[in-house]
Structure 1
Amino acid sequence: MLEIPAYYFRQPPVETSPATIAGFERLYREYVAPGGGLEIPYDLAAPRWQFLCYVCNHKNILLHGSAERNITEFEPRQSNDVDEFGNRRAVYAASDGLWPMYFAIVDREKVSSLINACFQVIGPDGVKSEPYYYFSITGEALADNPWRDGMIYLLPGATFEPQPLQDIGGVPIEVAQWASLVEVTPLAKLAVTPADFPFLKQVYGHDPAATMEKVRANPQGFPWHE
């Protein structure tokens, strides 16, 4: 069994009461399913990330987080990633409700380097583990309130392909990253703030120069945790 290092975060407990699920279904039915790209007027007691996780898990929905609040169409762009799948000209999205929040709320004018991950371990019986996360930003920016309000875009999954399974010590790992090689029109969007991100106070800091030295010395050593 693969032992996950303690520096990875685990997904907080999720509310699954019938009333909460009914609320998620109502928002999906009224604002996501029709399309149109409208902003969802979130009015539920459950945290926003739980609604986002729900639509990822139960609907054919993927998510993209951004500081831009009025994107009407996503066009493929060249990414910059150490992984081949994530280093293509594509529209990238996540099949998880928490991971894209990180991208939506990080202030890129203050933060020059990001290290992050979201994955599940697939057991011998095919059952997936709970999601694991890693979030780190430029260390010197942590003291400078490097956060902003952002937007999560809910995208139709039809044109996306999942990142191939990774093999870690003989154990399959499913990364929650998907890519579309064609443009994608959002179905809806949901505003988020730093307070909506449950790992806000736990985000790690790293030295970009020192991290690059670690990458060169050990390209497979992700996340090069300090």
Structure 2
Amino acid sequence: MPLLDYFLKRPPLQHDDMFHFERLYSSILGREKPIELDYELSAPKWMFLCYLCETKNVVLHGSANPSILEFEPRQSNDVNEFGNRRAVYAASDGIWPMYFAIVNRERISLLLNSCFGIRQENGAATDYYYYFSVDQDALLHDPWRNGTIYILPRDTFEQQEPLQRQGMRLDSTQWASPIAVKPLAKLVVTPDDFPFKQQMNGHDPQLIAERSRRNPEGFPWRDRLD
């Protein structure tokens, strides 16, 4: 099965909202401490966050903790070498961090997710694709929570190198900083702010763990998953 058959494509941004996005972004500049954004725009929050990632020198981090003043590097656990080191991790995308913010990790044993961009043939734009999954059992019992998206300065972050899959170049949206980072601002998000909540996949954690050990490059390991 072709790779992209597994993935969700990001809907287009609405250009009518750019002026309001700029005004909201300007409210966080020049402050000594991070502020909580008062979001009253009609556009969904994910559009504002995607706009920031595409036009500003920022990356985003999603968390259940609403009170983080500084992010310290932590050892991650990932099958990919880039994502398996001590660092502060963030994304240059507005939807992916929402997954980490709104999934209740106390009910989930294995997070399964991905985000990447594929540049169109004319080079004019990039299409973004996603994969989101949680434990099958947890999915039946509303495993969501409110969370917070932190807007971080991109200066100390490095981007993961592009990946090659099935003859395609996949531009990663994952970034890592080896040093601590203080956020510029934060935005509260709810499960209903996540645009792909209704398309969330469910997986068997033990089966996925076994398949990933046998074939680390086989994400999302669904070829024979019922």
Q: What is the TM-score normalised by the length of structure 1?
A: 0.93
CA, structure 1 residues 193+205, in 2 after alignment: closer, same or farther (shift >3 Å)? Answer: same
- On the 8 A contact 2:20/2:41 being kept in 1, the answer is yes
Q: Which residue of structure 1 aligns with residue 127 of structure 2?
A: 130
- 1:56 maps to 2:58: no
CA distance in 2, matches of 1:43, 1:32: 19
* Aligned AA (2:9): R
- Give the deviation of 1:134 after TM superposition: 0.2
**Paired residue for 1:154, among 142, 151, 154?**
151
- On the 8 A contact 1:32/1:188 being kept in 2, the answer is no
Q: Which residue of structure 1 aligns with residue 185 of structure 2?
A: 188
- Give the deviation of 1:165 after TM superposition: 1.1
Q: Which residue of structure 2 aligns with residue 13 of structure 1?
A: 12
- Give the deviation of 1:102 after TM superposition: 0.3
Question: Tell me, what secondary structure is at the counterpart of 1:144?
Answer: coil
**Paired residue for 1:28, among 20, 25, 29?**
25
- Give the deviation of 1:36 after TM superposition: 2.0
CA, structure 1 residues 34+141, in 2 after alignment: closer, same or farther (shift >3 Å)? Answer: same
CA, structure 1 residues 128+85, in 2 after alignment: closer, same or farther (shift >3 Å)? Answer: farther
Deviations for 1:21-59, whole angstroms, at most 9, x for unmatched residues? 111000100125645211000010000000000100000
CA distance in 2, matches of 1:47, 1:123: 25
Q: Which residue of structure 2 aligns with residue 85 of structure 1?
A: 82
Q: Which moved more, 1:143-152 or 1:212-221?
A: 212-221
- On the 8 A contact 1:122/1:171 being kept in 2, the answer is no
Structure 1: state its 5+ residue gaps.
Answer: none
Question: Tell me, what secondary structure is at the counterpart of 2:68?
Answer: coil
Count of matched residue pairs = 222
- On the 8 A contact 1:120/1:128 being kept in 2, the answer is no
Structure 2: state its 5+ residue gaps.
Answer: none
- Give the deviation of 1:111 after TM superposition: 0.9
CA, structure 1 residues 91+45, in 2 after alignment: closer, same or farther (shift >3 Å)? Answer: same
CA distance in 1, matches of 2:199, 2:180: 34
CA, structure 1 residues 134+5, in 2 after alignment: closer, same or farther (shift >3 Å)? Answer: same
Question: Tell me, what secondary structure is at the counterpart of 2:109?
Answer: coil
- Give the deviation of 1:6 after TM superposition: 1.8
CA distance in 2, matches of 1:48, 1:140: 29
Q: What percent identity do the matched residue pairs reach?
A: 53
- On the 8 A contact 2:77/2:83 being kept in 1, the answer is yes
Q: Which moved more, 1:169-178 or 1:107-116?
A: 169-178
CA distance in 1, matches of 2:96, 2:205: 21
CA distance in 1, matches of 2:206, 2:82: 24
Q: Which residue of structure 1 aligns with residue 205 of structure 2?
A: 208
Q: What is the TM-score normalised by the length of structure 2?
A: 0.93
* Aligned AA (1:202): Q
Deviations for 1:44-84, whole angstroms, at most 9, x for unmatched residues? 00000000001000000100000000000000000000000
